[in-house]
Structure 1
Amino acid sequence: MTGTGSDQASLARRLRIAVLRCERLPRFVTWEIPDVESLFDDDHRLLDAFAERGVDAEPVAWSSAEVDWNAYDAVVIRSTWDYVDHLPQFLETVAAIERSSALLLNPEGAVRWNADKHYLDDLDRLGVPIVPLVRGTPRTGARLSADISESGWDELVVKPAVGVGGSGVVRTTAATLQQALDAFPPDAEVMVQPFADAILDEGELSFIFIGGSLSHVLRKRPAIGDFRAHGIYGGTIEVSDVADSDVAEVQAMLTRLPYDLLYARVDVVRVHGRLAVLELELIEPMLYFGLAPGSAARFAEATLLRFERRTRPAR
């Protein structure tokens, strides 16, 4: 933060921040999780980091009724994973926060854009490399199969247009695509992508940006026999060093976005020697503060800087 230490302390003392989380886990989590609260480790570490700075921060379920958002100076979206089950309601809540006097982080425009995987089409138009995809529904399976045959893809991944944590994602082949599609509702929009083999060896890389700067990089690999590089499915996650050229490549991707972001997680995989975006997470990504010492503090500091910048008198 800029300014003197006394100025920062004065600012922090008057701040009240809501850290948004979910009231319950999303419906796709149907297995028993012995320690559910451990999933919210990022939130706990962030609340502690705010407390260390004299900030009055508290967890608030985004779906809580009759919350006065004007009572908060800032609202930080974090573990709101069940929004996929109630997307219209979630977006209404986001809009209500944006209309209030509270500073919403990340901003409403970025949240609405990122809530549906059509954002990948926009990234492609902006010149950001993405893993190729085609869109359709189970009813348009014949057209999808024709497009995939033309592309020459064999190993495939099918994903719902709205989802978190790998929910509803299936791996299949060009020959068995229609059977995979039949597991979705007939008119549900899905996207089909070629399976990136690099996920199984190099792994998926997640670049965590806080306040516009790289905080840490995670390498995620799926469990043996699985293909989803996510901890809830038994995958491994570790902080990793990467080449400076990879960092520069991902930073260049973010500079193309028209949003002022507090945080972003860019999930990429190498395709034909080049990093390509699998997912861009601007709403509720797990940032794994526990694996990267100091990252929760950086997040708290970046939040206070955003608020200071918002309230600083114009010169």
Structure 2
Amino acid sequence: MRVAVLRCERLPSFVDWEIPDVEALFDDDRRLLEAFAERGVDAEPVAWSRPDVDWAAYDVALLRSTWDYVDHLGEFLDVTGGIARSRCMLLNPVGAVHWNADKHYLDDLDRIGVPIVPLVRGTAAEASRLLTAVSEAGWHELVLKPAIGVGGSGVVRTDAAGLADALGAMAPATEVMVQPFADAIVGEGELSFAFLGGAPSHALRKRPAAGDFRAHGIYGGTVERVDPDPADVAAVATMLDRLPFDVLYARFDVVRFGGRLAVLELELIEPMLYLGLAPGSAGRLADATIARLGTA
């Protein structure tokens, strides 16, 4: 069995500041490669964008730290589609990957009964309509997000006046979505539930740095493993069961909103799984990958 653990060639372009220990960002990959080696599996890191890769030489291409795909989305979709058409198994499956690459998936989650933080979407040219929708919804503190992005890139916390200014500064065709700011992010924190092989693996609490609202570690946020309430685990497991795809791994980023857990982001492509905070989780992901190939 030969596995390509897919990663990026460089960090995405929105990371324009110095990160002291870049390799620490790839800790999940390192742990996963070690877990495969312990199981006698030949696994190696491969940049997804390398033009000379013979995907048919691998049994599995496992998407992991492919964070720069947002800078080359069309190429990424082409490459993952090509892998799926080869004898190599793409994990997560290509349908889930292409669906999850655009935040329109949140509309689909809402339609299939998965609670989400409410949103309105449109282009910067539709600023008037977006501002009217926000006013009618009674939202005061807002979050503006690009339709395609990772790691909190391009996300802005604002109010109605700031929203108008932000939209006015964008190219008219830029697609965005606007959501109410969830106060629980700076209180209870954002909760992340990792599922491996269809089963709950571990849960994390992410909190933003002082003065920020983005819980991602690259902005100074903190991450800790937590023992979640069983009712919360069951609620998020129900969300997973509703997905229209059979995924190998998933990370649900949720926040308590309106008295229940609601999805902020569903990560099926390149989420950090924080395997180092959950002993045994790298092995569970390796085992689930091996099992998936065995049932193909």
Bucket of the pairwise TM-score, normalised by the shorter protein: over 0.9
2:81 is the alignment partner of 1:95: yes
Residue aligning to 2:269: 283
2:256 is the alignment partner of 1:270: yes
RMSD between aligned alpha carbons? 0.7
C-alpha deviation, 1:179, in angstroms: 1.0
Residue aligning to 2:107: 121
Residue aligning to 1:20: 6
Instruction: Supply the AA of the counterpart residue of 2:34.
Output: D
Residue aligning to 1:57: 43
8 A Cα contact 1:207 1:218, kept in partner: yes
Among 176, 183, 203, which residue is 1:190 paired with?
A: 176
C-alpha deviation, 1:309, in angstroms: 1.1
8 A Cα contact 1:16 1:73, kept in partner: yes
Residue aligning to 1:178: 164
8 A Cα contact 2:191 2:203, kept in partner: yes
> How many residues are aligned here?
296
C-alpha deviation, 1:174, in angstroms: 1.7
Q: Which runs of 5+ in 2 are unaligned?
A: none
Instruction: Supply the AA of the counterpart residue of 1:35.
Output: D
How high is the TM-score relative to the length of structure 1? 0.93
Among 251, 276, 293, which residue is 2:279 paired with?
A: 293
Residue aligning to 1:5: none
Structure 2 Cα separation of the partners of residues 134 and 78 of structure 1: 30
Q: Which runs of 5+ in 1 are unaligned?
A: 1-14, 311-315
Structure 2 Cα separation of the partners of residues 272 and 34 of structure 1: 39
Structure 2 Cα separation of the partners of residues 246 and 222 of structure 1: 21
2:145 is the alignment partner of 1:145: no
Structure 1 Cα separation of the partners of residues 94 and 154 of structure 2: 26
Q: C-alpha deviations, 1:55-104, integer Å up to 9, x for none?
A: 10000000001211000011100000000000000000001100111111
Structure 2 Cα separation of the partners of residues 154 and 33 of structure 1: 34
Q: Secondary structure at the match of 1:278?
A: strand
Structure 2 Cα separation of the partners of residues 175 and 31 of structure 1: 29
Instruction: Supply the AA of the counterpart residue of 1:156.
Output: L
Structure 1 Cα separation of the partners of residues 63 and 165 of structure 2: 37
Structure 2 Cα separation of the partners of residues 89 and 39 of structure 1: 23
| Correspondences of 1:204-283 after superposition (within 5 Å) | 204-283=190-269
Residue aligning to 1:202: 188
Structure 2 Cα separation of the partners of residues 285 and 213 of structure 1: 17
Among 91, 94, 103, which residue is 1:108 paired with?
A: 94
How high is the TM-score relative to the length of structure 2? 0.99
Larger Rg: 1
Q: Secondary structure at the match of 1:175?
A: helix
Q: Secondary structure at the match of 1:267?
A: strand
Q: C-alpha deviations, 1:162-221, integer Å up to 9, x for none?
A: 000000000000232111223432211000000000000100000000000000000000
8 A Cα contact 2:202 2:225, kept in partner: yes
Structure 1 Cα separation of the partners of residues 144 and 171 of structure 2: 13
Structure 1 Cα separation of the partners of residues 169 and 158 of structure 2: 12
Structure 2 Cα separation of the partners of residues 163 and 237 of structure 1: 21
Residue aligning to 1:35: 21
C-alpha deviation, 1:281, in angstroms: 0.2
Runs of 4+ in 1 over 4 A off after TM superposition: none
